[in-house]
Structure 1
Amino acid sequence: MAERAVSPTSGAVRWVVVDSQTYVLHLEVTGYLASLRARGCSPNTERVYAGRLALYLNYCHMRRLQWNAPGFTGLSLLQQWLVDTPLPARIKLPAPHTVRCRSRGTANAVMTVVAEFLRFGALHGWVASRTTDLLAQPKLLRFTPPGYDPGERGQHRHIQAAAFRFKSTQAGYEDLSPAQIRHMIASVSRARDRFLIALLACTGLRIGEALGLHREDLHLLASSRIVGCGIDGPHVHVRRRTDNPNRALAKSRFPRNVPVTAELVTLYTDYQYERDRVPQALGESMVFVNLFRTARGRPMTYPNTKEMFDRLGRTVGHACRPHMLRHSAATRWLRDGVDRDVVQRLLGHVSPLSMSTVSQLVQAAIP
């Protein structure tokens, strides 16, 4: 099982995989998770990968397979087992209740992590090459995505594709209308939550980027030259920091700045008034802090934020996820005629291929 481990000396938080009976570390998986940290992956990525690899090890134990030599049949059955096996109910429900299973997209994500782990094992001599040879197969790209260079003779159309992957339709582009966003903001009673919702909708920040903001990142005056910033107008700086106490991490390694509206500045002023009434929060440098629960004044975490958005979704009667607000910002910018290159920079996309996908999805979503 995947476990959260805290160092007794430094307090550093890591994710590990242990035997559920003896709590002995699975050294190879734990080593792979350590490599994710070395590459600068977020703690949330580490947590998700730990859970998926624990699931793989449990499957191998159940099928009496060696995890480092599952064979073609073992991997094929794992792929099908992932979508056929019912998930445990979130709460105890009286029978009969709806049985939930993993989607094909989720199964593909698990198989991708397993394949990466096995390839990592091959580099360290834990996994034989005959196993990793099973993970990919040659494929000819008949249709290429926008911006893809097939080569002068089409040589780049021949690629190695994942061998164990379901064909699945692309997920729909989920955004929120301006009226829905206004309703969300009006439906929360706390100034902090109103500011967070409006910030995500205005700037298109990822939730990790928002939770990782420091107060020094908010330049909300008409001119910020007094603090050494030459950018005119109110704006937000997005910076990647690896030492945030709430483990929030900006995905992009490149800093950027995003302009904000006067309305957002007003909502931040309301939040500041609410925050200043909590003495524990006065010395905290992070923007978003706990004000209404234990550990007041401490930075908000991913679970805190998810709980807030889940409650909000039940209140307004539709799904409310932070990433939908990011999509809403992209939709608004493209509808308003903002150049795609500018939108790419505002969203923090490094690859133009990511922006091409966003543009296609947005165009499909615009009536």
Structure 2
Amino acid sequence: MSVEFGGIVVLRLVVGGYRVQEVRHRDGTIAFTIVGPDGRVHPEAERFLARYAGAGTDRTYAFLLVDHLRWLECEGLVLGSVSFRDLQRYMGAVGAKVPMPLGSPWRVGKRPYGNSALSSAAACLKGFYLSLTDAGVNTGLRDRLDVQRLPSQRDRDRALLGHLTTVLPGNPLAPAPMRRRHPKMLPDGARALMVESAASARDRMVIDWLADGGLRIGELCGLHLVDLHLREGAACAQCRSPHLHVCHRPGLPNGARAKRKHPWSVQDGVLVGGLIRRVSPAMVHSYFAYITGEYPRGAAHGVLLVQQHGPGAGLPWTPEGVRGMIARTGERAGLGRIKPHAFRHSFATAVLDASGGNLVVTREAGGWASTATVDAVYAHADVHDPVFDRALRTVWGE
């Protein structure tokens, strides 16, 4: 449901009680705010979220914050009386381990937050309540929230000189750091089985592009035809080999969002900038099979992936639609439920192995912002590696 007033289109995303509203401005920019049961904008939430408008964090913080406001409503608390213990109770209610009674059941039927979501929720709560203390509301919380900590080894790794000595901001609500689990990758031979089970050239192209490009689902669904430079020596002169440009475009009709925001522009009809990713011959082949056989003529939106059936035929394909297709294709192939991000995990691991463990090469191939993420998630010793096996057998006296 959408409402337009004053040149702004407001989309209602969550119904009942406090809810998040997406605000689309005429210039294409998008903002997020929270409104109450009476339809009025929540002033404290609006002031806090306005700090992150356009940064990509405002949407995440809006949904985390609306969950907290609903909890306050359920507990009968008001912002001016929330204590630090109440914030700890809330963190426990959404999944953190806290040694205290949590009160009434909350979020019945919903899964608890994972460690990453808990960290984001803690950052959101700290920022929100510190913004309240700046406005003179519940000032007693500042001493409990505005704490400092000594730098960790990860902070030192990020420092250029490696000997960071100053204290850093801390968050007493944040969960303890947890080593990331090994990523869930595709089963052996999954790609070939899924391509064989795919129902259309479009679906086969999606499988090839996820497997060989390591694209995030939001990046893939946000691609436009103008982003694709699939011939040698493209006019953009930014990469000699076939490649594509991942561009962040706010307000796409299918809701797709590229995670990283690299500047881009169109110069003399040629797109330059964005995040450049190489394209394999298999990706080029499946693209031409799709574009010449199934892509609708006269599609004015210019988005690469389109719906093929139902009332939305010809419109940009949504990330949810791609996830559903991947799941159904995996089931038909006898692989169980497959998620698109498993392709990215498999891609990163394959590049890391092929490059001899080169974190920089893997970072550039997959479009990560830092080698620290690649190192934490993918740089694990392969238990079947000959060097690994030989080292263990030496220790065992074999």
Q: How does the TM-score come out when normalised to structure 1?
A: 0.79
Instruction: List gaps (5 residues or longer) in structure 2.
Output: 1-17, 96-101, 263-273, 386-398
Residue 58 of structure 1 deviates from its aligned partner by 1.6
Going from structure 1 to structure 2, the CA distance change for 1:67 and 1:322 (only over 3 Å counts) comes to farther
**2:125 corresponds to 1:114:** yes
Q: What is the CA deviation profile of residues 249-276 of structure 1, one whole-angstrom value per residue up to 9, with x for unaligned ones?
A: 3222332322222111111122113433
Equivalent runs, 1:215-230 vs 2, <5 Å: 215-224=225-234, 227-229=235-237
The higher-RCO structure (CA 8 Å, 6+ apart) is: 1
Contact 2:213 2:280 in 1 (8 A): no
**2:117 corresponds to 1:66:** no
State the secondary structure of the residue aligned to 1:155.
coil
Structure with the higher fraction of residues in helix conformation:
1
What is the CA–CA distance in structure 2 between the aligned matches of 1:264 and 1:8, rounded to whole Å?
36
Residue 169 of structure 1 deviates from its aligned partner by 4.5
Equivalent runs, 1:26-45 vs 2, <5 Å: 26-39=42-55, 41=56
- Give the greater-gyration-radius structure (CA): 2
**2:305 corresponds to 1:288:** yes
What is the CA–CA distance in structure 2 between the aligned matches of 1:285 and 1:185, rounded to whole Å?
25
What is the CA–CA distance in structure 2 between the aligned matches of 1:152 and 1:259, rounded to whole Å?
33
What is the CA–CA distance in structure 1 between the aligned matches of 2:197 and 2:217, rounded to whole Å?
20
What is the CA–CA distance in structure 2 between the aligned matches of 1:105 and 1:223, rounded to whole Å?
41
Equivalent runs, 1:328-339 vs 2, <5 Å: 328-337=346-355, 339=358
Going from structure 1 to structure 2, the CA distance change for 1:12 and 1:310 (only over 3 Å counts) comes to farther
Residue 355 of structure 1 deviates from its aligned partner by 3.6
Q: What is the CA deviation profile of residues 286-320 of structure 1, one whole-angstrom value per residue up to 9, with x for unaligned ones?
A: 11122223222222223323333343454444442
Going from structure 1 to structure 2, the CA distance change for 1:249 and 1:340 (only over 3 Å counts) comes to same
**2:33 corresponds to 1:16:** yes
Kindly provide the amino acid, as one letter, of the partner of residue 77 in structure 1. R
- Stretch of structure 1 that moved more, 241-250 or 198-207: 241-250
Equivalent runs, 1:1-367 vs 2, <5 Å: 1-5=18-22, 14-20=31-37, 22-39=38-55, 41=56, 46-83=58-95, 85=105, 87-89=107-109, 100-103=111-114, 105-123=116-134, 125=135, 127-135=137-145, 137-140=147-150, 143-144=153-154, 147-149=157-159, 155-156=165-166, 158-167=167-176, 168-177=178-187, 179-224=189-234, 227-229=235-237, 231-242=239-250, 244-254=252-262, 255-276=274-295, 278-279=296-297, 282-315=299-332, 316-337=334-355, 339-360=358-379, 362-363=380-381
What is the CA–CA distance in structure 2 between the aligned matches of 1:9 and 1:237, rounded to whole Å?
25
Instruction: List gaps (5 residues or longer) in structure 1.
Output: 91-99
Kindly provide the amino acid, as one letter, of the partner of residue 143 in structure 2. D
Going from structure 1 to structure 2, the CA distance change for 1:308 and 1:46 (only over 3 Å counts) comes to farther
What is the CA–CA distance in structure 2 between the aligned matches of 1:13 and 1:4, rounded to whole Å?
10
What is the CA–CA distance in structure 2 between the aligned matches of 1:75 and 1:143, rounded to whole Å?
28
What is the CA–CA distance in structure 1 between the aligned matches of 2:324 and 2:108, rounded to whole Å?
20
Q: How does the TM-score come out when normalised to structure 2?
A: 0.74
